[in-house]
Amino acid sequence: MALALALWRWCIAAALLFSAASGRPATFSQDFRITWADSHIRELDGGRGIQLTLDQGSGCGFASKYQYLYGRVSMKIKLVPGDSAGTVTAFYMNSDTDTIRDELDFEFLGNRSGQPYTVQTNVYAHGKGDREQRVNLWFDPSQDFHEYSIMWCHSRVIFSVDQVPIRVYKNNEAIGIPFPKSQPMGVYSTLWEADDWATRGGIEKIDWSKAPFYAYYKDFDIEGCPVPGPAGCPSNPNNWWEGPTCKVLSPEAAKRYRWVRTNHMIYDYCTDRKRYPVPPPECSAGI
């Protein structure tokens, strides 16, 4: 009986691993659950897409049913159109721990009509964050769906927009800099009010006469190792997130990365001397 139970548990774990690692597009209800304000989230197209709503009563959010240890997560998102100042649409991974949490953030900061949409990324490792970078998107992300992805490997974390890298955070543990590596993380997303800081440092407030605000999601894709899962899964060298594709950007990806950093980056904590008279150690080590 014990052997049969163990085999059954292994089969369930293996099935979860296969479905996640295969990168099959999921419906919302397969892999996610609503975390708050279920009246503000509506499934579309048989669950292959969803609509998030923000009004004066509430924002809303959802999370993956499982946590993962390494891999790649992506979603296609159409952001709040028009005057979206003061709103934040977030897509992130989080270890769901307090003082030592790990977190990898995409935060899309709303704007006044006609201004560029800004995406802020941040990395928390062992409870330490404050590593913000901001990039102005080179297109209007409210007019159509665009793919946003986080690739989490042993050697680095890569944030990408439509497969264009916009940030690379390297593993510099060899010189004592924390890196998220041991805590599994869930996948989260929220639409919420943050007009005390989101648009021009809080100068631009939400115009509630434009509410409700909507953001749309589709093509949920998770390629990773679910936890709990088969023992040793995250360290299996056959997993692509352990292989050479994670160790270095391709020449074309490196070229696109330089283009983004040169032409569209508007803030980097590493160069903020008011905040950091002495740059954090990872800045000189190469991030």
Active site residue 107: yes
Residue type, 273: R
173 catalytic per annotation: no
Q: Among 103, 193, 223, 282, which one carries the catalytic annotation?
A: 103
Quick one: three-class SS letters along 90-116?
EEEEECCCCCCCCEEEEEEECCCCCCC
If 0-12 CB within 10 Å is exposed, 13-18 middle and 19+ buried, where does residue 88 land?
buried
* CA pair distance 250, 264, nearest whole angstrom: 20
The residues pairing with 133 across neighbouring beta strands, listed in sequence order, are 121, 268
Q: Is 204 left (phi over 0), alpha (psi -120 to 50) or beta?
A: beta
Catalytic, out of 43, 107, 132, 223: 107
Beta strands in the chain (DSSP E): 32-36, 41-44, 49-54, 60-64, 67-78, 87-94, 103-109, 118-124, 133-136, 146-152, 156-161, 164-170, 186-193, 213-227, 265-268
Catalytic (active-site) positions = 103, 107
